[in-house]
């Protein structure tokens, strides 16, 4: 649902919007910035992340292990997500600049999948209290984007109020445990999440992605 239109992408404006359940996205390529609040909303409870048998086998294969890193290549991740050859692209230079600034301020984070020294998948978003607002993800190798989402969900499954917001639910995300909730229910969850301290997104340094 489009709630408002306006091009103010200052950090305080964006953070205030997320605290009200809104996020920015151009209405059309290179068009005005819209502020959106989908109904229903796609969310992932960290404890409910689903790892399929095939994904579990993938993570168990020594030759297929990926290294998961955090915040070592934020700009590379957002640039991969903004690849103009991807369908339905929406990340333009205004959005890129705004989220790079949020990263520099400590709000924006990237979760990355590496094979040796090559970035093969990742996602980026904002951590605000107990909410991780995922913005976009990409992969250059099969299963790499799934691996980073699984790693993030497992890390956030710490017994405290946490929620991963994916905005809209797709078949791909639904297969990983993402569900749809009403806009009203999403808004009702936010106060509890924002009273939480921001999660530490230090996943213990670079480490192999493991099945469990």
Q: What is the per-residue pLDDT for 206?
A: 45
Domains and CATH numbers, the chain: 41-208 (3.40.630.70)
Residue among 99, 189, 111 nearest 144 (CA)? 111
**Average pLDDT rounded to a whole number, residues 161-173:** 96
Q: Residue 120 above 80 pLDDT?
A: yes
User: Would the pLDDT of 125 be above 80?
Assistant: yes
- pLDDT(193) > 70: yes
Binned at pLDDT 50, 70 and 90, residue 78 comes out as very high
Q: What is the pTM of this model?
A: 0.91
**Does the structure show a pLDDT above 60 at 105?**
yes
């Amino acid at each position: 649902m489009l709630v408002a239109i306006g091009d103010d992408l200052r950090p305080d404006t964006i953070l205030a919007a997320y605290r009200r359940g809104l996020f920015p996205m151009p209405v059309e390529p290179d068009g005005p910035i819209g502020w959106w609040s989908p109904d229903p909303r796609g969310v992932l409870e960290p404890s409910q992340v689903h790892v399929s048998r095939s994904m579990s086998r993938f993570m168990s294969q020594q030759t297929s292990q990926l290294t998961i890193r955090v915040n070592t290549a934020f700009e590379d991740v957002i640039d991969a997500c903004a690849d103009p050859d991807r369908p339905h692209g929406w990340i333009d230079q205004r959005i890129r600049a705004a989220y790079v600034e949020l990263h520099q301020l400590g709000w924006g984070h990237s979760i990355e999948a590496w094979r040796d020294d090559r970035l093969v998948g990742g996602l980026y978003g904002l951590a605000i209290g107990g909410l991780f607002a995922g913005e976009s993800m990409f992969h250059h190798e099969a299963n790499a984007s799934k691996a980073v989402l699984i790693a993030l969900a497992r890390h956030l499954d710490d017994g405290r109020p946490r929620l991963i917001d994916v905005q809209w639910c797709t078949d791909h995300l639904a297969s990983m445990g993402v569900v749809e909730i009403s806009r009203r229910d999403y808004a009702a969850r936010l106060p509890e999440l924002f009273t939480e301290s921001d999660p530490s997104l230090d996943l213990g340094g670079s480490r192999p992605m493991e099945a469990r």
